[in-house]
């Protein structure tokens, strides 16, 4: 499926940019704007503040920022589609007040990119995960499953917040080191999936698990024209749809990787086909599910589900 001193955004430019809709392969249904923080939720004077475009990156930032910082996520609806999110003036105000902004980049959260293009001050305080991915030639924008990008964001959050508040620098660094060590551990466990079940294959409703599958050495055998159609929010060709359904029916893939946040009738049909054929379905989302606030827990749960689906030790 890619973020430091306090500076002020150009209000006109920021609000104009934030009126744009980010999109890259969603269902085309706009998710409801996140509610503006209530005045009572405002950070106390002197508190470090971080704004993330999605709650996935907010969870990464929170793990490093710790209890003395306020982290706000603009997109946090577990039922919504971040691709089609329409931002609000309240989002502009939150970004305007932040010490650090964490964005995905790669045209995923395009409203944040537009802010940077129109306001150098906003760009200067933004950490862009896509720019920190392990392979610069890889254009898949769903980098929250790329260990290199995630560790890069964590380290930059620590560095930038530490520069803004030197008294907290040591604690920020320690939390970043503990977090990135756990990311490495999960990546090693993910890599073990392919070692335990070499030749494993999946079909994906859309390529949001790209980096997870790459780390696991599990092949995504979804036809390219099907992927392109879903990414461009168009109906796949009849031929590619038949090809995908036949592959699932014949159990030519070990699992279907399914994003429930962009469930169109075509995608829902794939899930029904997989279930009917006895092919395991692995749900992979773009934002944290309701009640989940820990990035590491979320990724490890997804890793475990993939491992079980292809028959590897969980």
Q: Which residues contact 106 (CB under 8 A, 6 or more apart)?
A: 2, 130, 139, 140, 141, 143
Q: How many domains does the chain have?
A: 2
The pLDDT tens digits of the residues spanning 43-97 come to 454 689 999 999 999 999 999 999 989 999 999 887 766 777 777 888 888 888 8
Question: Structural domain of residue 300, as residue ranges?
Answer: 192-310
Domain of 76, CATH number, reads 3.40.50.1980
Give pLDDT, residue 30: 38
Residues 154 and 49 occupy one common structural domain: yes
With 80 as the cut, is the pLDDT of residue 111 above it?
yes
CB within 8 Å of 178: residues ≥ 6 apart: none
Do 108 and 181 lie in one domain? The reply is: yes
Q: Residue 232 has what pLDDT? A: 80
Do 79 and 159 reside in the same domain of the chain? yes
Q: Which of 166, 185, 204 is the last residue of a domain?
A: 185
Q: Are residues 66 and 144 in the same domain?
A: yes
Same domain, 265 and 286: yes
For the segment 162-201, what is each residue's pLDDT rounded down to a tens digit?
A: 999 999 999 999 999 999 999 999 999 999 999 999 999 9
How much is the pLDDT for 80? 64
Query: DSSP secondary-structure letter at 25?
Result: S
**Residue 54 phi, psi dihedral angles, 5° rounding:** -130, 160
């Amino acid at each position: 499926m890619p973020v430091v001193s306090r500076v002020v955004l150009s209000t006109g430019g920021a609000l104009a940019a934030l009126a744009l809709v980010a999109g890259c392969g969603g269902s085309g249904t706009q998710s409801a704007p996140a509610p503006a923080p209530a005045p009572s939720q405002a950070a106390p004077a002197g508190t470090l503040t971080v704004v993330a475009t999605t709650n996935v990156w907010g969870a990464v930032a929170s793990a490093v920022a710790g209890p003395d910082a306020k982290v706000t996520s603009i997109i946090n609806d577990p039922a919504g589609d971040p691709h089609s999110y329409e931002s609000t003036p309240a989002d502009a105000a939150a970004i305007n007040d932040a010490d650090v902004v964490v964005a995905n980049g790669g045209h995923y959260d395009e409203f944040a990119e537009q802010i940077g293009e129109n306001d150098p001050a906003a760009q200067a305080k933004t950490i862009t995960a896509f720019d920190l991915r392990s392979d610069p030639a890889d254009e898949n924008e769903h980098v929250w499953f790329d260990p290199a990008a995630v560790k890069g964001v964590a380290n930059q959050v620590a560095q930038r917040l530490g520069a803004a508040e030197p008294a907290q620098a040591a604690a920020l660094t320690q939390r970043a080191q503990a977090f990135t060590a756990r990311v490495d551990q999960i990546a090693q466990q993910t890599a073990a999936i392919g070692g335990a079940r070499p030749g494993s294959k999946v079909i994906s409703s859309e390529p949001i698990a790209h980096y997870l599958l790459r780390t696991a050495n599990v092949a995504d055998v979804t036809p390219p024209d099907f992927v392109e159609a879903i990414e461009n929010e168009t109906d796949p060709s009849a031929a590619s749809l038949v090809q995908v359904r036949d592959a699932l029916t014949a159990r030519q893939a070990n699992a279907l990787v399914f994003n429930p946040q962009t469930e169109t009738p075509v995608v829902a049909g794939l899930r029904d086909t997989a279930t009917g054929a006895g092919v395991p379905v692995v749900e992979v989302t773009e934002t944290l599910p309701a009640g989940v606030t820990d990035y590491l827990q979320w990724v490890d749960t997804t890793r475990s589900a993939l491992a079980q689906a292809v028959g590897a030790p969980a």
